[in-house]
Amino acid sequence: MEQREVLVVLFDGVQALDVSGPVEVFHGASQSEPGAYRIRTAGLDGTPVRTTSGLTLVPDLTLAEAGAPHTLLVPGGQGTRAPDPRLIDWLRDNAHRARRKVSVCSGALLLAEAGLLDGRRVTTHWMLCDTLARRFPALRVEPEPIYVRDGDVATSAGVTAGIDLALALVEEDLGRDIALAVARHLVVFLRRPGNQTQFSVQLAAQTAERRPLRDLQQWITEHPAADLSVDALADRAGLSPRHFARAFRDEVGMPPGRYVDRVRLEAARRRLEDTADGIAQVSRHCGYGTPEAMRRAFLRALGTSPAEYRRRFQPARPPVPAA
């Protein structure tokens, strides 16, 4: 069996979880499939580095000593804000030797600085997406997905999304059963689809300035199966439909119809993840009316059906013991 070397780049100001999360996934896979991965860490000088949280990590070797890995993993952290030019030079000169290049969180900034992401679809932590797009206009930055694959390059959003991406890579390399075993051991879901949004609609949207609209946002979240047409919502807010639609868009940052769509989608996702309710029951509870309407909404937003979403994202349930 092929042994895949995973080389993790270390530098001062690295985010500890960006390193340890994916490393635990690859290590766990090697426990299930001995010899599947060889994990090594490397820094510019081989000296200990200080993480953003104050932990000290000791590299296994220097970057100059590193060979051509199967997977080159570049984590993020505050150290990506003003990186050592030698690190960028090493990435520019050597990263192409890896069969796949992976970044976690702001590690995408380092790959971009080295010219490795030009013309690629990429993502990073949602707070940095605008910065990444502005500094590197040749990139196609997607702010919502938790990770994006484009050829031999994979980029992920903040911290825990690196675990999701690593699980996806293990599933690609070794199959679903191994990835599922790792996910169970780490007590995480297998696996969030890459196009799952980085944050809930309540966090993604703005909070309305006026109390009636803020209260209405909360009410929509709590009643996804209600009549959430513009006319009904305007009546609840005590405004004319035209005034309501304009005020909601101005204060929330999106039209009420789009906000309702996102709330219903999120409610359905959560119900598929957390309950054993049938697809028809979920669709009624979340305001879709019919399973087909919910299926179309899932395909449009997530590129997958509700049934497939549940299969991928709902944690395995232990068998019921015999009486």
Known active-site residue 105:
yes
Residue 98 is which amino acid?
A
Q: What span, in angstroms and rounded, lies between the C-alpha atoms of 124 and 130?
A: 10
Listing DSSP states for 234-292 in one string gives HHHHTS-HHHHHHHHHHHHSS-HHHHHHHHHHHHHHHHHHH----HHHHHHHTT--SHH
Which of 128, 84, 138, 93 has its CA nearest to residue 108? 128
**C-beta neighbour count of 190 within 10 angstroms:** 23
Residue 105 is which amino acid?
C
Establish whether the linkage from the previous residue to 134 is cis, with ω within 30° of 0: no
39 neighbors 27 (Cβ within 8 angstroms): yes
Catalytic residue among 105, 122, 159, 163: 105
Q: What span, in angstroms and rounded, lies between the C-alpha atoms of 272 and 275?
A: 6
Catalytically annotated residues: 105
